[in-house]
Each structure stands twice: as structure tokens, then as C-alpha cells.
Structure 1
Amino acid sequence: MNREAEETWRGRVRGCLLGGAIGDALGGPVEFQDGRAIVAKYPDGVREFVDGGPGWPPGTITDDTQMTLFTVEGLIRASVRSDRGTGFTVAVVQHAYDRWLDTQTLPGPSGERDGWLQGEQWLYARRAPGNTCLTALTEARKGESRIPQFGELAVNDSKGCGGVMRVAPFGLLPRFPAAWLFDSAVDAAGYTHGHPSGRLASGALAAIIHELCQNATLDEALDRATALLVQHEGHGETSTALALARDLAATAPAGPVTVERLGGGWVAEEALAIAVFAALAYPEPDQVLDALALAVTHSGDSDSTGAICGNILGALHGETALPAELVFAVEGRSVITTLADDFALEFTQGKRLHGDYGPHTAWRSRYPGW
């Protein structure tokens, strides 16, 4: 890509990751609350970071952002590893999720892991991690023949949103075909979620993000993602949910009552549909906060729907469209922006960081290839 296109893409990478974190942090404190109670307290929707109780100050991110950051790290490591002639191996991302599992089971860094991200003490806070993710990753870690090994599909029938809420970074990858990104995000979600809807909604999100990074409008991105989606067996629930989101965005009021017609967001296709509906309802760069508030103000899984909506809007509009007061205050901003910038460096100038420069560079110590 030329210099101008690269700068635009870098802004979308930052925007997608920061937008997801902001949506996550807006929704986290009101997850599990009744939508009517949320509206009574916040008539215009949740538009600022609020206190979530002990250990949950305003701006706190949840497992959604934690796992998204490990997705980014895993993709960088997969790229570094490709120097070995093995190609770009998506299973490397599952090892990143295994490192995330450490953050949920240990009090702090053990010193037994390589790389830098798992050394960030603040990531070791448990923020209502999904039981499906914890269980599936723990089972894979056991390495017994009766359970999935690393790189294999989880043995469950879960279609919870724990897969789709973490895969947006796949869509940010440059130079990869849309169909490959779709399938790779499906695989990455499948490490923990076995149901087709839990996996295919993830592929659809990656495809949407990819198309937005190619300067598509949101409607164009949805058309192209849907065209990929319908080629896969078991797409019905996700296709129907996306179609309903688009229909409601065109015909119904943009409010919590309409959002809840799409479900609660606890399962993957509903979480994606709610995020898409909110983004379509408020598609302009100066409406990002309106869209995020709509995405989190309902009775369901508010942090996940907010995170996915933020991923979409950040990729659509770039970093500068995000509300500055929320960017400034979101937990982990420095780590999020560092990972975003490292991602951009790896996928534009990786050969100057490793590759021909040898196997023992500082970059390889920061991002070992596994």
C-alpha cells in the first residue's frame, strides 16, 4: 500500500482496538442489569464510563478486550514464525489464548512465559471471563487424547459470544484475501466454541472489518461479508440475525426496545447483530458515541455488544473519530496503542524487524514465533 493508504490503515487499526475497548468499558458495569433500569438511570444511554463497584472503577475493560489483545499478539507471533517457512499458522493464536488463560488462573506473571504481553500485571484481573473459554482452553492444555489438542475444534456446542468478541484483529490483517480471513477467524473462535453460529458470526465480523479497511461503506461491507457467510453450512442463524439488524436499522426507532428485538447478545449471532444495528443506526463519524451508547444500553451482554460495535466503528472511521474523553480514560490505553502500532509495524515492515535480519533480533524476543 502507498504511504497515504498505510496511514489511513494504521488509524483504522488503532481505531478498531481502542473503539472495542471503549465499547467494552462502557458496557461492562451495566451487564446483567435490566434494560429498563439502565434507561431510568441513563435516559440518553450509557455515554460515559461509570463505576462498576469494588475493583471495577470507571473505564475498566473486561475479558473481551483482554482476549482481543492476545489475538493481536498471537497474529504478530504467527507472522514472525512464518520466517521459518511454515507459512502463517492460525493455531499460534490459540497459544496466545493459552497465555491469556494464565492471566485468569495466576495472581501475576510466572516468569515461565516468553514475550511481553503476559508480563503486564494489570491483565491478571478476572473480569467475568466466559466459562466456555476457560473450560475449552483448560481442556486443550491437558493434552489428553480424548480432548481437542491445540489447533483443533472445541468439543462443545456453545455459540456464546466469547468467540466473536475477540476476533476483530483478523479483519485488520493486510494482504490476505477476505475468504481466508473469514475462515481463519472461524477457526480461532472454534478453539473454544463448537457451534456453527459461534464460529460463523466470528468469520462475518472479520470479513466486515476487512472490507471497512478496504474503504467499503458499512452497507457494502455487510453485503460482502454476507456473501461469504452464506457459502458455509450452518449459516442460517447468523444470516437471519444480520438481515434483521439491517431491516430494523432501516425501519425501526434507534432505541433499547428495538435492540432487544435482536436478543440479548449472549450468543454470537445476537451480539454481532446488535453491534451492527447500532453502527447502522448512527453511521457518521460524529455519531460514534451515540452508536456505542445504543449498543450497550439493553438488558443483555452489554460489554460484548459494545466491544464489537466499537471494533466496527473504529475500523470504519479510524482513531480520530473516537470520543477523546473516553480514549483518554480507558484502562490499558498505552498497552492497546502499543500493540496496535506493533501490529502495524509487523505487517508493513516485518522484514526489517526479523527475517533477513536474523533469528535473534530484539523484536523476536518481544514476539517469539509461537
Structure 2
Amino acid sequence: MRFNIQSKLLLSHLSAVSKVVNSKNKLSILDNFLFNLEGDKLVITGSDQETTLTTNVQVQNPEGSGKFAANVKKLLDLLKQLPDLALTFDVNDENLEINITYLHGKFNFIGVNGNEFPVKAASEEEPKHLTLPCKTVVEGIQQTIFAVGVEEMRPVMMGIFWDIKPDEIVFVASDTHKLVRYRKLNIQTGHELSFILPTKPAAILSSILEKKDGDVNITVDSKSATFETADYTLTCRFVNGRYPNYNSVIPTTNQYNVSIDRVQLLNALRRVSVFTSSSGLVKLEMRPDEVLMSTQDIDYSTSAEERIVCDYNGVEMAIGFNDENIIDVLNNIDAENISVQLIDPTRAGLFLPVEQKENEELLVLLMPMML
């Protein structure tokens, strides 16, 4: 088996596929890339058993066909040190000896039998197919992934919930302290289904699709989904479990509304949070036309406060939030001005843009802290 390929082209595809591969694997074969030469197309696969990413790249002067596997770290370390030049891969089909030659040198090492690489079992059920714009999928993931839970005791929260309806898609994520709901309206899916996409494949999918125009083809069964573009195919298993009823925890009768400049509020919170205690409590006092933010650490006799103007005509109210959580929320709302909707200091606050983008609806819920 023999083929030629440019080093930088190969590196770009291997770097993308390597994001799937874990640093430590239960199966030693998963420490490798799987290469499958089919005519002038080289198919490269990486997997951690739960998620599999495949890409294809065109090669020159192919001879023969077949599979072989090569170590992920070894190949990446090698290619990162090479300038952009032509490489010739020559693989001995019998002993899997791999020779890589280029203008001024060569490398030699032993590969692994590609037939040892795990293959996904075919689904016996009839899958559902839908096509979505790449931009829609990327926005849904990027607007919600920051709120995904990390506690293994709550596995259903460790992913993004996709609630697909015939004329809209709702992306939801929560770590129980904050919840984000992003609705993409006026989009025809032709299906009604839902699943929980784990954080790792969601991040990989977003990094691939944000560089793409056009659509992504999605195939969904009861246990997994496959996302396919012209040169990448990502297959991943869902998080098992039933996602909580997210709409039931979102207040619908908020009495008080604060309109405020997002960047001013974010920068002020960053400054006063320097002096928070270990609990991270920051106190927000809503007053007519201003918000007073304050923090203190009694153990070290430090405190800070800052006030900024806002549009608020309700009763004076004080509410506490965790500094990291509220800064995280404000960092991930792409709007000049935001609306903070409140009921009382013991109930969750809602953060949303004053002006929503066309055919979009973004809402972030943040639980308060006791003052």
C-alpha cells in the first residue's frame, strides 16, 4: 500500500480527529488512528468507543488499498515538526511496517492491524433523518454548552438537550445552578424527537461545523446520532436518561424588570468579585435607576462596592448571586443591553437580551444565594 500526501493537509485532518481520542484508553487500539485507503481517498478514523470521528482526504499516486492503524501521539508529534512538504507513505501489508519518506529524510515504525479497530454495530431500528444548517447547530451548541453540568452523580445534566419539534429546535443545558434555553424558531425539521448530546462530542461538532457553510445531515436512532458533512462524519452515543422538564422551572410571572448595559455590569462584577469571600457571594441592590453591587470577606476584612446606572422603577430589592456564575452568564449573552427579570430574592432570576435576534429566543435562569 502506497500513497502521497502533503504534510500540512494531513496534519489538519489528524488534529481534528485527535480531539476524539482519550489520553488513556481501555482498549490499546484506540491509541491509534485508523487509516483506510480506498482508491485515491484516505479515510481517517479516531474513537473513544462512545464517540467516533471520521474524515476523508484525497491522496496522490495511490497504489493498493487496505487498512492500518498508527499511533496518535507519534504521528502528531512528527507532523508538527515538519514544514509543508510532500510525504510518501509506504505500508507493508504483511508486517505493517510503515515507511514515511520526504525530501531530506524518512521515518520508520510498525503499525497495528486495522481490523482490530472497533466498529459500530448496525442499528436494527429505522433511523430518522433531518438536515439542518451548520450555523443553526453551531449556535445552539455555543449558546448552551457553558451551562452543562459536570457532576457525574447527575449524568443527564452532562450534555445538551435537543428538543426537536416540526417547526423549531430548543437547545437546553443546566448544571442545576444555572439553566440556558435557546430556541431556534421558524426552522422546518419534519420530526418530533429529543436526545441528550454529551459535552465532548458537542464541542467537537461545534469546532468542525463553525468552519463550514451549508447543511449537516443528521441521522438519529434511539441510542446515537450521526452528523455528516462532505468531509467529516461524527457518530456519538446519547447520555442515557430522561431530561427534566426544563419549562417547569422557568418563572413566567416576573414582577420586576431591570434593563442594564451588559458590558458595564460584567466589568463591574469582575472588579468587585476580587474581594468576595470563599462562598463567592455578590450582592446586587436594585434601586431606582441604579444597581449597587457589593462584596465582602469578613475573614480578611476586605470589601468592595460599585454602582452603575440602569432602567428600574420597581421596589428596592437586594438579591445575591455567585460571582462566577453570574459572570459566566453575562459572558455568554451576545447583546448590548440585557433584561434581568426578578420576583423576589429567594427565586431564580432570568437574564435575556433586551432585543432578541430574528427567529431566536435566548433565556438564562440563575439561582440566587442566601444573603
Q: TM-score, normalised by structure 1?
A: 0.23
- Which structure is higher in strand share? 2
Question: Which fold has the larger relative contact order, with Cα–Cα distance below 8 Å and residues 6 or more apart in sequence?
Answer: 1
Report the structure number with the largest CA radius of gyration. 2
Q: TM-score, normalised by structure 2?
A: 0.23
